[in-house]
Structure 1
């Protein structure tokens, strides 16, 4: 088990709360719709009926990071056709990415299913990951981001509030369909979280990951869920770049760097949509090691040496995005 973090970690819900209020205050200009459930939970539609957009997705991505990261949309010459990157920085990538941004809370009610991400997860804190992090949040309000194309049912909304330990009218749910502009941005902004999740799977001690930078190309949205899911995954798998700064022996930093890139997976080399179809749509039959950035650099803070592995694959991006 990883070394537990000190319990005095900041509240990701409290850090994200002003970002949520700022998002809602700009709802009209961001093309968002804000409604309320029967008991007063706030529902922010960022792409189901409302149009949403790129700036909304950027702000939602920062909310997902629990106030522990910044997200920018920047021009870059990394690829010939795809010249815009989603860039992510975090001063505390383990907390921002794993304790908040990671879509780890399974939510179901009748035919409705979604994975919850964002700071509200740390209020529930029933995932095994929180035991390993040694962290559970406490706050008066809760926010979750759901990657869905339908509104959640009332019983589920009430249960989420109960599980977060907040009144229903202090709960905000932000809905971002994968096919939407906002959904595309907030999913691609998970490029560093994907690297952190794989570092965890490789049993690298999470408390040694001190800082991080990441980026991935912004793909065009797709009109249906499967194509949109393929493009947003390919942005990371074949175009993502992550730089982690870690404590500990440089030999272990080198091993981490060699194991992180997506090219280490048996399923690497085709657009995600083709891989998904080859497994008959069974997400869990795919190699979990595929979900990684294309290129990774790990810097050992103890010695200052950096280790880089992986490479971009523009040809696959062109097949996927075009």
Structure 2
């Protein structure tokens, strides 16, 4: 059995390059009094698409390639993010998934990225049989606020690293970089839903994803709506799985966002209907619009779901 890769080690050079190129990427870098590095990718600075692309590769634990490519499916917007991975389960669930809830006082953010695998206290890591050991820790936070010093110290301690080995990357939802890195989770949400419907993760061999890049929202709520709609109504993924052909077909049929009772309206409307309670939304909604699953045993592929052009247009244009 092959040893599992270290997402911390793989991302270290990517993080170093991000910090080194901060001026070009329109990022701001802060060194705290205790030595931690904070990368602002859109709160007090502009950031940008390329910063978001690089941050998405960091979120994937260095196990994914992310490209900004033409998208003829939605010609008015014209650009999509394309994600491929060398190890979709570790890249998406072991690193990219925003599974670390962090709060102190009025500050709250979800943490994603390779530091999660060093911390590894989520139940999911027991199922994955994965825990990383690395000399540095990097966490991506979906926030426009600087984390309190106490929380920074807590994260470093939980990861077992000195604070000067910790990097926190801030990606506000309504920023260009934030929009890219959230839509870049198009494959991750499919892996998460596969896990929730109990498909054996060790049978998922490879995968790729594709979703339109929305214009950033004017505020957090509109930004969250557009980034979710990009995936739920414009996202497409492909999975390659081992096992019986009929189970690959069942997986394809169970994954698309159209299986949800909340499907059919822009996410902003759904969110408002639930009084802005994210966890009241039907969890089955959070998956790509179109899914193709290929059974490697026979080479047969199964496709389910559909693109919703009108909803993407309504959402992205602010209609």
Q: Which of the residues 258, 266, 272 maps onto 2:261?
A: 266
1:216 paired to 2:211: yes
The answer as to 2:151 corresponding to 1:151 is no
Q: 1:314 aligns with which of 305, 309, 313?
A: 309
Take 2:142 and 2:304, find their aligned partners in 1: how far apart are those partners? 31
Alpha-carbon distance, 1:83 to partner: 1.3
CA distance in 1, matches of 2:29, 2:75: 38
Determine if contact 1:7/1:135 at 8 Å carries over to the other structure: no
**What is the CA distance between 1:259 and its match in structure 2?**
0.3
Tell me, what secondary structure is at the counterpart of 2:22? Answer: coil
Structure 1 partner of 2:84: 89
- 1:50 Cα deviation from its structure 2 partner: 1.4
| Equivalent residue number for residue 95 of structure 2 | 100
RMSD over equivalenced CA pairs, Å: 0.8
SS at match of 2:154: helix
Alignment of 1:16-35 (within 5 A): 16-35=11-30
Q: In the TM superposition, what are the counterparts of 1:115-130 in structure 2 within 5 Å?
A: 115-130=110-125
Local SS of the residue matching 1:307? strand
Structure 1-normalised TM-score?
0.97
- 1:246 counterpart = 2:238: no
Larger deviation, residues 119-128 vs 71-80: 71-80
Q: CA deviation digits over 1:63-111, x for unaligned, max 9?
A: 0000000100001211232211100000110000000000000001110
Give the TM-score, by structure 2 length.
0.98
Match of 1:193?
188
Mapped to 1, the partners of 2:287 and 2:136 lie a distance apart of 32
- Segments ≥4 residues shifted beyond 6 Å: none
**Selected match of 1:176 from 168, 171, 175:** 171
Deviates further, 147-156 or 73-82: 73-82
* Unpaired segments ≥5 residues, structure 2: none
Offset of residue 8 of structure 1: 2.4
Aligned to 1:3: none
Gaps of 5+ in 1: 1-5
Residue 7 of structure 1, CA deviation: 8.2
Query: 1:275 & 1:66 partners in 2: Cα distance?
Result: 32
Which sits farther off after the overlay, 183-192 or 31-40? 31-40
Mapped to 1, the partners of 2:183 and 2:285 lie a distance apart of: 15
